[in-house]
Structure 1
Amino acid sequence: MKEDLVNKINKLKRERNAIILAHYYQIDEVQAIADYTGDSLGLSRKAAETDADVIVFCGVDFMAESAAILSPDKTVLLPERDAGCPMADMVTADALRKKKQEYPEATVVCYVNSSAEVKAESDVCCTSSNAIDIINAIDNDQILFVPDQNLGHYVSQQTDKEIILWEGFCITHHRVKDDSIHRVRELHPDAEILVHPECRPEVVELADFVGSTAQILKYAKQSEVKKMIIGTEMGILYQLKQDSPDKQFYFLNQGLICQNMKKTALHHVAEALEEMKYQISVDEATRTKAKEALDKMLELSK
């Protein structure tokens, strides 16, 4: 049945001139069928560059929205309509407008894990891969950073600028506590601990390496250490094993699962291509303003 689904997807993909983009947190089968897997920055770049007519975005809603913002001439499909992001829901355009009134001189830097409406209220977007570079490239010493307080705190430790934090967080990465680090150090003293900057500050402080999903993958592949403890969503294990089959990988917490990222299955991808659902669009006024923030990010992160 799985083989039939894969064949069906490949056939429909050719007929539709479609490309399948999948985040590293998707289930193994979806990552395997994708034309390109990546983190938020890599997927944003691929969505902006593709000459396909249809983009099937295997991720969560804000990612598909970003693709629609960057490629308005493409048809963007989100295979699982209910794949959202709790952190993105922690900031709204109205709330951000009110906060901007409190800090009228601040440059608003918006993590891509946010809605199109929030991006439209921002000056520039960033990802966990490029947040430090983006903020250091801004000609302003006061930054309003939304919505991830943990990533914002991490960036604040790498710059002299004033970072005003929004009180949002990733519920998956936020589950990891510093006592997990202490326990795993005792159990695996020969292992390196690699964590995502969406983790709590006290967890980040104790890690051997801190980086985005793509940066964790790169580090793990290049490291001579054969045992690693990972502090990010478990979907990354698929690519870790592809890159380094000779290494051992463990996770800091068994709760490192994003249920929204796991909603998309192979049959959803097939149905999306067959029925051309669920199409993601952004109204033109919002899209134009949000695109300025995304374009600025791509410009500054080259």
Structure 2
Amino acid sequence: MTGALPMAASLYERVRRVIPPVEWLAFAGDIEAILALKRERNAVVLAHNYQTPEIFHCVADIVGDSLALAHKAVTVDADIIVVAGVHFMAETAKLLNPNKTVLIPDLRAGCSLAESITANDVRLMRLRYPGVPVVTYVNTSAAVKAESDICCTSGNAKAVVESLGVARVLMLPDEYLARNVAADTDVEIIAWKGHCEVHE
């Protein structure tokens, strides 16, 4: 590809079917700079599946959904972890790697589901339902997780709820996940009414 930088030109093959050549020229310099910084600073980039093709295919070292990135974050051998994702993903990477520097490139990168509930909301729910355990979906902020009794994934939510051996639980923040678990268990589920704009 003419006009592109050497390394970026070889990377273009990965994305040539989704990024036109003229658009690629706008990305090539930034990609070269990012790759050089990664080498210089001993950094890795964890990129969520929702990232744009030039990040996902040309910059990222590890890709996946939020749970996969959390699992892989503990295996990285780098001083710096850059999370190309949303806040809760970067927080999770930091919780799992307390001695590493964790960066998020865009401070505006939020998740409507995670932002639908705050730690104070959890405290208020506990006051309203004293003694009822709080089961929180992992796609939430560290502050919300800290106010919870246990966290779950979408894949293990039912098992987590039933493992508590109680008649009812508070399930936060994803209303749809809570309703789906409620339909499949005898445990009463008190659901927070949070939603994800992406999946609406």
If the TM-score is normalised by the length of the shorter chain, which range does it land in?
0.7 to 0.9
Distance of aligned partners of 1:104 and 1:150 in 2 relative to their CA distance in 1, 3 Å threshold = same
**1:8 and 2:33 equivalent?**
yes
TM-score normalized with structure 1 length? 0.54
Distance of aligned partners of 1:27 and 1:130 in 2 relative to their CA distance in 1, 3 Å threshold = farther
SS at match of 1:45: helix
Distance of aligned partners of 1:30 and 1:132 in 2 relative to their CA distance in 1, 3 Å threshold = farther
Structure 1 stretches of 5 or more lacking a match? 175-302
- Corresponding residue of 1:294: none
- Any residues of structure 2 matched to 1:86-125 within 5 Å, and which? 86-125=112-151
1:18 to 23, 30, 43: 43
How far off is 1:115 after superposition? 1.7
- Corresponding residue of 1:65: 91
In the alignment, the residues of structure 2 paired with residue 87 and residue 11 of structure 1 have an alpha-carbon distance, to the nearest angstrom, of: 35
How far off is 1:21 after superposition? 0.6
- Corresponding residue of 1:37: 63
How far off is 1:155 after superposition? 1.7
1:146 to 172, 177, 187: 172
In the alignment, the residues of structure 1 paired with residue 187 and residue 180 of structure 2 have an alpha-carbon distance, to the nearest angstrom, of: 12
- Any residues of structure 2 matched to 1:230-269 within 5 Å, and which? none
Structure 1 stretches of at least 4 aligned residues deviating more than 4 Å after TM superposition:
none
In the alignment, the residues of structure 1 paired with residue 51 and residue 156 of structure 2 have an alpha-carbon distance, to the nearest angstrom, of: 22
**1:52 and 2:81 equivalent?**
no
In the alignment, the residues of structure 2 paired with residue 158 and residue 30 of structure 1 have an alpha-carbon distance, to the nearest angstrom, of: 39
TM-score normalized with structure 2 length? 0.79
In the alignment, the residues of structure 2 paired with residue 23 and residue 129 of structure 1 have an alpha-carbon distance, to the nearest angstrom, of: 18
Identity, % of aligned pairs? 48
In the alignment, the residues of structure 2 paired with residue 124 and residue 48 of structure 1 have an alpha-carbon distance, to the nearest angstrom, of: 20
Listed one character per residue, the Cα deviations across residues 22-67 of structure 1 (whole Å, up to 9, x for unaligned) are 1111112211121111112111111233222111001111111111
- Corresponding residue of 1:171: 197
In the alignment, the residues of structure 1 paired with residue 195 and residue 34 of structure 2 have an alpha-carbon distance, to the nearest angstrom, of: 35
Q: Given residue 80 of structure 1, which amino acid in structure 2 is its aligned partner?
A: D
In the alignment, the residues of structure 1 paired with residue 174 and residue 142 of structure 2 have an alpha-carbon distance, to the nearest angstrom, of: 16
Q: Given residue 35 of structure 2, which amino acid in structure 1 is its aligned partner?
A: N
The answer on whether the counterparts of 1:105 and 1:142 sit within 8 Å (CA) in structure 2 is no
Q: Given residue 26 of structure 1, which amino acid in structure 2 is its aligned partner?
A: Q
How far off is 1:8 after superposition? 2.2
In the alignment, the residues of structure 2 paired with residue 24 and residue 123 of structure 1 have an alpha-carbon distance, to the nearest angstrom, of: 29
Listed one character per residue, the Cα deviations across residues 207-238 of structure 1 (whole Å, up to 9, x for unaligned) are xxxxxxxxxxxxxxxxxxxxxxxxxxxxxxxx
- Corresponding residue of 1:160: 186
- Any residues of structure 2 matched to 1:185-196 within 5 Å, and which? none
Higher relative contact order (CA 8 A, sep 6+): 1
